[in-house]
Structure 1
Amino acid sequence: MSLAMSFQVNRAEFQLQVSLELPDQGVTALFGRSGSGKTTLLRCIAGLEQLPGGSLSFQGQVWQSADEFVPVHLRPIGYVFQEASLFPHLTIEQNLHYGFKRIRAAERRIGFDEVVELLSLQDYLTRYPDQLSGGQRQRVSIGRALLTSPRLLLMDEPMASLDATSKQEILPYLERLTEELQLPIIYVSHAVDEVMRLADYMVLLDQGQVQAQGPLQALLTDHQLPFARSEQAASLLKAQLVDTDAGDGLAGLQLEQQPLLISQTHLSPGRLSPITLGATVKVTIMARDVVLARQLPEAISLLNALLVRVVALDTDLDKSQVLVHLQLGEQALMARISKRSAGLLQLQPGQQVYALIKGVAVNS
């Protein structure tokens, strides 16, 4: 944990009271509803807001304390706003060079050509911002931030202003960014699907306070948090790719030493580079798509049968249903089933059962 901060503000219309220690690697998501304090906290980290009494240090360097405040232009950060905010009178190449020229040659850790290649901007360099789509402009904005050679990248809902098509276009580039550059990212969002695809760690904010923080996998299945009780409750698991072509349009994964089949079209859709055998793959399984059985069924269309252990049964918002928390090796899985089914199966903590999942219901 190398990003430590403490901020407090009391305003008539807004309050913020945050004390955090965050990882300085991977993607940390600041998640919450509008008005929860996400953007204010990000601006404090950037130095765009100076709150009295606040403190902030990154990798041993103090950026804010009672006696010191490092201004935003001296902090080694890149900042990506909701809107691309490119200079309309400059070409894309000139917009990119605007960020690149700010850094002395000896301090450049990311090359111009590297960023152009990373974000596939080769075909746009001579164009102007109004000649690009929203997703393309945002890729340029990200590229401009990267060309300042930041040690920390801050992203404030970079897809909030994009339509669904543009979001699907830009997500693979964000994934590539997180994989190929060893650069810690603080990512603000209120879209759980974005967070599940990109983040490793999450801070859940509500009304200016930290409601929970921790590894994303753990928070999604925590029965005390809203994710597990939502209609879209899902488990995020990590598996290894063992077969890119298992026949019939399927790919084979290994999840906690057990086989798992996934549709090839669901295996990291839109990914810009192929996944190598043995690579770790994030898979998402909706709680409503998990069927439980005490014995392995025969002659059934469900392809995946995972041996799991019942951890706990929780009441659901729908009184006819229960949320079953399951342990799968070192990872957690959830199943939403009817209360009647739980009674018929006589489910209880410690019991071993099979989690049955359609191959088409597994997504990556």
Structure 2
Amino acid sequence: MSEKLQPFHVAVLMHMTQSGIVIFTLPRSLAVYFGTNGWLFLVPCIAVSTFNIYLISLVYRLGEGRSVFAIMEQSLPKPMLYPFYFTLAAVWLTFGCMIGKKYVLIFQMLSFPTTNTMIFKLAVDILIFLMIIKGVYSISKAATLFFWMSAWMYLLMMWFFPSFRWERMTPFLLKGGHDQLKGALEIYTAFLGYELSILLFPYVDKKKKIMAGVHAGNLYLSLLYVTLGIICFGFFSLGQLQKLLYPLLDLLAYIQFPFIERLENLLYGLFLFPVLITVVMYWWAAQESVRRIVPKVRPKLLTFLLISISYGISFIPNTLDEVGTWITNLGYAATAIAFGFPVLLILLLLIQRKGGEARA
């Protein structure tokens, strides 16, 4: 009997997949785009992501846990789906690549400014390769381990309560921002990652409420984001938040102990764990899509080829601004896939169900 993912492991896996690099710039984006009390914009983001997960749960119910690829190939000739599979793989592969590149660039800036960025990137990619070839079950176990190794850091938020001031929040709501539509799309990428649960259907225990695990992971992440937003808007002034490049790092720099210097560098290293899982899951999803096009290629060789392509792509953007632009644009595409993919599958399942009833 093959091993199946349980709701708890799905919840942790989805939470770690969503906890990407965006958390470092999220408070600044909220302040720049939405102004005073910009953290309130997280509430509609939570509602929208919850609705999107509900659409995925509809696919799971209507499809009775079948693979999404099998659902599509039942209604459409497989060669017609190749461009769609290629698009999914290209977006997910490049998105994961840029997330990893941004983490490496910040790490180099903080700790090793004279070292070649691509050396660090190569080391991270090798580690990711070793995780992906073990399969999604081993990835979920690693995500659970990484979760327990890094979850304690969220308790550090209590350190800032003595310096928290409610008057910094001001009585004004969402004043002083600009480009709110662009900001809404950019900030929503902080919640992305849950959409990859649509590929987990063949690997889960169908007797358990798996989608409840996806909801739980998303809600836990939402709670952390809201808490971080409130603390940042009460710890920094609005002007400070709009100027700080990485507010989370500035928060961590505020923590000081007599026996250690530059604690933020050490804590930043622990954020490698959720970033790793984010990149691993996006690259695993890309591999799953490409396998439908070239099923005869050995999985390990396919993983090696995809990661090699990704490593080559990572040479193109050289600065944090360039990587940020890539992540923003790819985030738009990933958001479109997050909503469009389940809607397409629901339509196909309804057509299949209607056709089955007509034949009956």
More helix by share: 2
User: Quick check: TM above 0.5?
Assistant: no
More strand by share: 1
TM-score with structure 1 setting the length = 0.19
